[in-house]
Amino acid sequence: GDSAATTGRSRWEQRGEDKFATVIKPKLAKLPEGVTEINVDELYQLLEDQVPMTLVDARPELRYNQGHLPTAVSIPVPKLKEKKAEVLPQDKDKLLVFYCGGYT
């Protein structure tokens, strides 16, 4: 028969041999103190205004190699977590803008 279950932030229904997600509540990452989220329009404005910045593509290197924003450097999240500040640009006067393949 059919049954329903809740796991974490999702709700699943069993329909015969198949399992279907009926509710999916994404867990959004909490930004660290001092970090601000910007949208694409705000990034475009920063680029238009020629604000000194370093664009960091935090996606896996394969995805970066398939295409990335002009001037972006590749620092995948696992490498950033492991090496922390030592992989970031030395110029502390530049704005750091990170992007990834997420929905934000």
Give mean pLDDT in consecutive 10-residue pieces for the chain, a chain of 104 residues.
52 82 70 82 92 92 93 91 84 88 61
> Half-sphere exposure of 49 toward its Cβ, with a 13 Å CA cutoff?
10
Specify the DSSP element, H or E, that contains 14. strand 10-15
Say what the pLDDT of residue 7 is.
Answer: 47
Q: Could you tell me which residues come within 8 angstroms of residue 41 by beta carbon, excluding any fewer than 6 positions away?
A: none
How many residues make up the chain in this entry?
Answer: 104
> What's the whole-model pTM score?
0.65
Inter-residue long-range contacts of 91-96, CB under 8 Å, 24+ positions, other chains counted:
91/52, 91/54, 93/52, 94/52, 94/53, 94/54, 95/46, 95/51, 95/52, 95/53, 95/54, 96/53, 96/54, 96/56
Per-residue confidence (pLDDT) for residue 6, from 0 to 100? 44
DSSP code for 28: P
List 80's β-bridge partners, or say none: none
